[in-house]
A and B are shown apart, each in its own frame.
Chain A
């Protein structure tokens, strides 16, 4: 059952991710990216990360992607114009990516034998309670720094979005 769920949502994620890369219209890419994020949320649930799965749906699929789609519609972005790209990228890009994937898959297979498996319910430490406890004790300082970062990001976005900015 877990394997079937994993395969279904992994295939959805990979197909949607390929769609993000090959679609020429930004809106199609954005919708596909929402598909990737939704299926990743299901995989997080499978791994016992309830809080992260909820945050993934709310923050990523909900907030960040809505912002993206807003901007795409605001700028009326059309299909991109293909132009001659760098020769290095054309020749080396795909082979290097395939080599990277092959290496990662090889080492991951070597390091993690098939006996180590994931099943639903195998790890229950990802509840909102556990995450909140760790967040406000061990990771209190990073949490506060993060709030400062968000403040800086808000100010930066406002400054960049001003009318006088030319």
Chain B
């Protein structure tokens, strides 16, 4: 078998996405939660590029490009928010950031 089945790429993408969701749900450090979001975005990018290959169209690459740009903007703003939260509360644990809970 010289060719890699398309389904392997899509399954890898699903595995990475599920691991990102697991990190998002189970981790308590605000930075690691943020990195899990980046992992999920990467997983989705992989399936975009795979579909682009399968359909022989360049559109998927453009969507991946836009996702990257949005992720970069999100990282800049998100990390600024993390810095502000840390300055105000001196904690990185998301259980301690619960002022909207009650």
Contacts and interface: CB of A to CB of B under 8 A. Distances in A.
Contacts of B53: 47-49, 118, 122-123
Contact of A118 (B3, B27, B69): B3
B68 to A, nearest CB: 5
A97 B21 contact: yes
Size bracket of the A interface: 35 or more
A85 B28 contact: yes
Contacts of B5: 112, 114, 116-118
Given A60-B42, A75-B92, A118-B6, A21 B77 contact: no
A48 B51 CA distance: 12
A20 B27 CA distance: 10
A117 B6 CA distance: 5
Contacts of A30: 35
A14 B12 contact: yes
Contact of B32 (A17, A26, A36, A114): A26
Interface in B45-64: 45-46, 49-50, 52-54, 56-59, 61-62, 64
B2 A1 contact: yes
A134 B74 CA distance: 24
Given A20-B35, A67-B76, A149-B69, A93 B11 contact: no
A82 B27 CA distance: 9
Interface string A1-26: 11100100010011001101100001
B55 to A, nearest CB: 9
A35 B53 CA distance: 23
A87 interface: no
20 contacts: A14-B16, A37-B42, A43-B49, A60-B38, A68-B34, A75-B83, A80-B29, A100-B14, A100-B18, A105-B14, A108-B11, A117-B1, A119-B3, A125-B58, A142-B62, A146-B69, A156-B77, A160-B84, A161-B84, A166-B87
Interface of A: 1-3, 6, 10, 13-14, 17-18, 20-21, 26, 29-30, 33, 36-37, 40, 43-44, 46-49, 51-52, 55-56, 59-60, 63-64, 67-68, 71-72, 74-75, 77, 80-83, 85, 89, 93-94, 97, 100-101, 104-105, 108-109, 111-112, 114, 116-119, 122-123, 125-126, 130-131, 134-135, 138-139, 142, 146, 149-150, 152-154, 156-157, 160-161, 165-166
